[in-house]
Amino acid sequence: ALEDLGYAEAGGAVRLTLEGSTAKTGRWPVNVDGGLKAKGHPIGATGVSQAYEGYLQLRAQAGARQVPGAERALLHNVGGSGASATVTLLG
């Protein structure tokens, strides 16, 4: 997704992750709550789960997962085998 959204060149997302750019305190924190698979991938509720995490981050109420100074959240979700895709910006 980092590549598709323009945050990394093709094949560059691995490098960003290994250098810490996607960590909670990195330039582009990713899945600080563990992501949807860590939640059991609640089919049909994944977007709501993402929106709630973004809401908590922006209100500085995410506890140990809190991204310092969070002002914006980008939610990216793909349904099925790519049959639907959404990007939501909060902030």
> pLDDT, tens digit, for every residue of 21-70?
999 999 999 999 998 888 887 777 888 899 999 999 999 999 999 999 99
Q: Which of 68, 67, 82, 81 is nearest to 33 (CA)?
A: 67
The residue range of the domain holding 17 is: 1-30
> Do 15 and 3 belong to one domain?
yes
pLDDT band at 12; cut points 50, 70, 90:
very high
> Do 25 and 39 belong to one domain?
no
From residue 69, give the alpha-carbon distance in Å to each of 6, 25, 66. 23, 10, 9
Query: Cβ distance 24 to 65 under 8 Å?
Result: yes
> Do 53 and 25 belong to one domain?
no
> Do 11 and 46 belong to one domain?
no
> Do 37 and 70 belong to one domain?
yes
pLDDT of 87 > 90? The answer is yes
Model pTM score: 0.85
